[in-house]
Amino acid sequence: MELQNKLAILADAAKYDASCSSSGSARRDAARGGIGSTEGMGICHSYTPDGRCISLLKILLTNFCIYDCKYCINRVSSNIPRARFAVAEVVDLTLDFYRRNCIEGLFLSSGIIRSSNYTMEQLVGVARSLRLDHGFKGYIHLKTIPDADPQLLAEAGLYADRLSINIELPTVQGLAQLAPEKNSATIQQAMGQLHDHIATAKAERQDARKASVISMPRSRRTRPTAPQAFAPGGQSTQMIVGADGADDGDIIVTSAKLYTGFRLRRVYYSAFSPIPDATADLPLIAPPLVREHRLYQADWLMRFYGFEAHEIVPAGAQGKRMLSLEHDPKLAWALAHRERFPVNLNTAPREMLLRVPGLGVRSVDKLLAVRRWRQLRSADIEQLRVPMDKLLPFVECQGWSPGRSLDDPLLAAKLVQPMAPRPVQASLF
């Protein structure tokens, strides 16, 4: 098969991987030799019409797979064109695209061929060749195989900026139903191993920065050589939304456990896409993309706004705890806890200001900066460039009081957020 045909098949097959953002890596450039950079404008992002990130050369090593996961287009029983790259072909493609300024890094995943160890050896081989044979300094994200030999996972972290292991589905029951050949305990064990490697390498590098040595008598103290970094961009994971019966409450609780248990940098949510010749266990239609969007908003509340998972999970019976599609999670929380508002912008602590609908981290920091010198007035709110209709019912300051707005039974209806039109990819011509 010609290389271009392989690229068409394996780049298309990789579009279902959402976890390809390139943030969090160490700064590297080619000033001391090699090729590529992870700094400044070195990494760019672009998005497909359905919102998926395709910032890097994002391909599969192969879409052959010995597993038969019901939700996966590449499952062994799927009737799709198959292709496979050799290690040298992926290396050459990456360097060629980089030299033509088409990409700034590589996102590489793969179906399982022969065995988990064999597949992982191939993935590590690509990263090793790029780093050691060609001095590639650009970004590398490897999707790793959870039941591969731990030594292969450890070696992958020496070459890749970020490693990820897909948790696949939010619940153990869902994974057992739709991907019985995969094991939730094995996936989490591999995540734990990566977490330990990342934490150990980070601690060793911090100790090395503080230490100093005298290499020869009467010589000056110098810093010892820093230990090699291990996946400086951390690890991430991805879970499929809407393929099984898990509700948003299950997804949020699982994400919270992954963040606290394994210190993940990101959990990505991928709305299930119906696939050809699917089994009756899968839904016939995809969940609305706005559900995926609401989950990302809830994820940000946990990571940057101080919300606990149990505060965001909607009330209701198991299987019915769905986030509102009409209101973002923070607005929904505020509407359900009106007794905690209005918040006085001149006296409320930062933690409470972050819970006000319409106020982001930067807006809160601006308010706190002004508050050091004088009282906040209504004119200050107008300069924030935030959605005023969402903000004003929940705050008060000099010159502004929401009155009895919070008692309005129609307030929730008035604050329904209209759905944005579907994004359209800009044409090149």
What is the pLDDT, as a whole number, of residue 105? 84
What is the pLDDT, as a whole number, of residue 312? 92
346-401 per-position pLDDT tens digit: 999 999 999 999 999 999 999 999 999 999 998 988 888 888 999 999 999 999 99
What is the pLDDT, as a whole number, of residue 42? 38
Give the Cα separation of 403 and 147 in Å (integer): 59
Q: Nearest to residue 43, comparing CAs of 98, 100, 93, 91?
A: 98
The CATH number of domain 3-26+39-207+228-312 is 3.20.20.70:
yes
Hey, which residues does 214 pair with through a beta bridge? Answer: 221
Phi, psi of 266 (to 5 degrees): -150, 145
What is the pLDDT, as a whole number, of residue 93? 92
Give the Cα separation of 22 and 30 in Å (integer): 18
DSSP, residue by residue, 263-295: --SEEEEEE----TT--TTS-SSPPPHHHHHHH
Residue 194 · residue 165 · CB < 8 Å: yes
What is the pLDDT, as a whole number, of residue 51? 54
Residue 154's alpha-carbon distances to 149, 184, 201, 408, in angstroms, are 9, 20, 11, 58
Q: What is the pLDDT along the chain (429 residues), one digit of tens a residue?
A: 788 888 788 877 777 776 655 555 566 666 666 766 555 443 445 544 455 555 678 889 999 999 999 999 889 998 889 999 999 999 999 999 888 877 888 899 999 999 999 999 999 999 999 999 999 988 899 999 999 999 999 999 999 989 999 999 999 999 999 999 999 999 999 999 999 999 999 898 888 878 777 777 777 777 777 778 899 889 999 999 998 889 999 999 999 999 999 999 899 998 888 877 778 888 888 888 899 999 999 999 999 999 999 999 888 888 889 999 999 999 999 999 999 999 999 999 999 999 999 999 999 999 999 999 999 998 988 888 888 999 999 999 999 999 889 999 999 998 887 666 666 666 555
Give the Cα separation of 49 and 422 in Å (integer): 8
What is the pLDDT, as a whole number, of residue 222? 76
What is the pLDDT, as a whole number, of residue 48? 46
What is the pLDDT, as a whole number, of residue 45? 58
DSSP letter at 130 equals: I
What is the pLDDT, as a whole number, of residue 40? 45
Q: Nearest to residue 71, comparing CAs of 168, 141, 155?
A: 168
What is the pLDDT, as a whole number, of residue 295? 95
Q: At residue 66, what is the residue type? A: I
Taking the alpha carbons of 356, 360, 363, 365 in that order, is the dihedral positive or negative? positive
What is the pLDDT, as a whole number, of residue 31? 64
Comma-separated ranges of CATH 3.20.20.70 domains in the chain: 3-26+39-207+228-312
